Structure 1
Amino acid sequence: MANTIQSKKRARQAEHRTAINKARRSRIRTFLRKVEEAIAGGNVETARDALKAAQPELMRGVTKGVYHKNTASRKISRLSSRVKAMSNS
């Protein structure tokens, strides 16, 4: 357990940041789930719109330190290729 004043403050800050990051991660997952559901449903327009909404959300997660840049880029790349494959076929 934290003993010094500074370590107690750090523990409080870590708890606060964890809650914020958890909410951000959950929000991003919701956007990604909407894209996945649109792809599974076979609706190209909905999938495209959902992907367009999810991309800035994912990159915002990168700037806030929730996701690594390459992770977000990989997710966007894979989703966009799946959406593109839907529109081609």
Structure 2
Amino acid sequence: MANTASAKKAVRSQARKTDVNRNRRTMVKTNLRRVEDAITKGDKAAAADALKAAEPAIMRAVSKGVFHKNTAARKISRLSKRVKAIG
């Protein structure tokens, strides 16, 4: 357990940052799921729209340090490739 005042404050701020990062990660997963659902249904227009919404969310998570930039680039690349392959 934290003994000093600064250690206690660090624990509190870590808890806040953990909540924020968890919410960011959840939003990215939600956006990815929307793209996946549209791809599964075979709706190219909906998949393209969902990808257009997902890409900034993923890159925002990268800028906030939630994901590594190569991970985000890989996810976006694979999704866009799958969206192009529809129909």
Deviation at 1:72, TM superposition (A): 0.3
In the alignment of these two chains, the number of paired residues is 87
Q: Deviations over 1:8-36 (max 9, x none)?
A: 00000000000000001001110000000
Would you identify which runs of 4 or more consecutive aligned residues in structure 1 move more than 4 Å? none
**Aligned match of 1:61:** 61
**Aligned match of 1:79:** 79
TM-score normalised to structure 1 length = 0.96
Q: Deviations over 1:41-64 (max 9, x none)?
A: 100000000001100010000001
**Aligned match of 1:52:** 52
Q: Residues 1-89 of structure 1: matches in 2 within 5 Å?
A: 1-86=1-86, 89=87
Q: Which amino acid is 1:69 matched to?
A: K
Give the % identical residues: 56
Query: Counterpart of 2:58 in 1: which secondary structure?
Result: helix
Q: Which amino acid is 1:79 matched to?
A: L
RMSD: 0.5
